[in-house]
Structure 1
Amino acid sequence: MAISQSLTTADIGIFRKATGQTRLDQVKTSASDRGFVIGVSLTGGHRRHIFHEHHASSHDFTENAIYIRDLAQAYTADLSNPFDFMLFEISPASLERIANEAELAGVTSLAAETASKDIVLANLARALIPALERPEEASALFVDQMTTAIGAYLVQRYGGRQAQTASRTASLSRAHEELAKSIILENLEGDVSVLDVAQACNLSRGYFIRAFRETTGVTPYQWLLGERIKRARDLLRSSNAPLAEVAIACGFADQSHFTRVFSAIVGATPGAWRRNI
């Protein structure tokens, strides 16, 4: 594999697999109880010849094409041409939990898809590429927030049931807002999951994310980034601490990580911003 990356979350396994080889082998997987695998093609040109019980079918994967496969069914396919896939694996128990949080209790499977295009899912998947490429910088809060969104989208789009209109306004009470913010601030490096914060507020992950965004105007991870940058500005303004120390004090993995995020949000590097003030 030219690329083989992975992240583990509470409910969804995240992988990126890519190869540049033109001639690929046949793949065979036995039936298992692992649940479902969802693939998102990041590039076009890959082709699969899939063998079914009584027939075979050929499929061309364009960019942003997806597949959904039930791992309870044995799978045999001839692969040809290079591929670059984001993959999500969801166990039956995780699918049930995700469906319950999305207010779609009773969804126990996802509809099979092969080489159909899904721009929404592809964009959600691509947002996780930096976390796979630099896992040491990946915030658990961000990854959990993204997988919650992906899980909810999958059960709503492919779970075979019509999503219900939200019956209550998604907003946090003042007490829950203060509690959530205090927990996030205590974990400025981002090593706290949405699940942890939501459970502290006695809310589901999906509802908590919607309520936090409705209440504050931003997602939990966006709020965390804002607080990191706010603390960084205070330290840059009030001290002569080296940038590497400021980075660690503000929850960044290192100075390089700090510089990239600060520059993207503020429009100047930390060093240049400090000199200008």
Structure 2
Amino acid sequence: MSVHSAQSAAGRIDRFKAVAGAPGLEYCISGPRPYSLELSNSSDMICLLLGTIVSDTSYDDGPAAPFTFRAETAAFHPRGESMRIDAHEVRHGFIAFRYADAFVNRIADRSAEPLRRAGSRSNLGADSIRHLVRYARQKAQAETRPADPWEMQCVATLAWIETTRHLERAARERKSALTDAGFAMLEAYVADNIDQNLACADIAAELDLPVRVVFDGVKARTGHSLYRYVLEKRIDAAARMLRASSAPLVDVAVACGFSSQQHMTALFSERLGTTPLRYRKSA
């Protein structure tokens, strides 16, 4: 790891220091001054943003791009990534912790590997993170003597717990949402099985999502309940079949998943204002 000043007039960032009595834990405190930070992460790193930092930031071999780290948030940078931050507007600064396995294995109850695979995440905001950052900022501003090792260990532990908890919660929420890809799968499944008795539970199982999530997602995208969405697709399929073939109405009803010809006629008339037979004749 190397840390350099952004310009000759800027103050130099303190190098990472080991926390006494906490094997595998290091910290770095930077005040309100411009800086340039360049490093390759051999350990997981969490930064607590004591104030807003306006920067040009690049990850791995990517190009630098403008990026603002928001005040009272956390940033998670997993091991194995490299980064460079050229900060030109800095308010309050940051406190960063580096976590080796020797420390993480003592405080974590589950593997962080899924979080590492997701890459760097910044501007992680939650009430617990904000409270922790405010506490750290007060201590950093008031402290004139070297940081107390026990206090640094406690803050680092809370930073790990609250940041990883926030990331895990966000991952669960992403997994439990009906995404664009998931909705496309739903559309294809309904179209491919339009002649079947499509149960809500079966559709949710096909998408590997809770029924409630599918219900809410379909309602948000179409304005219809899942039940009504499937009925609309059955009516559309019946209309296409009526235009393209001379199949008996009872066969059209079966092919489109209606319980009977009468059921199809009632729903078709309600939706299009005409019966299936009249619709075919006018098509």
TM-score (norm 2): 0.42
User: Quick check: which has more Rg, 1 or 2?
Assistant: 2
TM-score (norm 1): 0.43
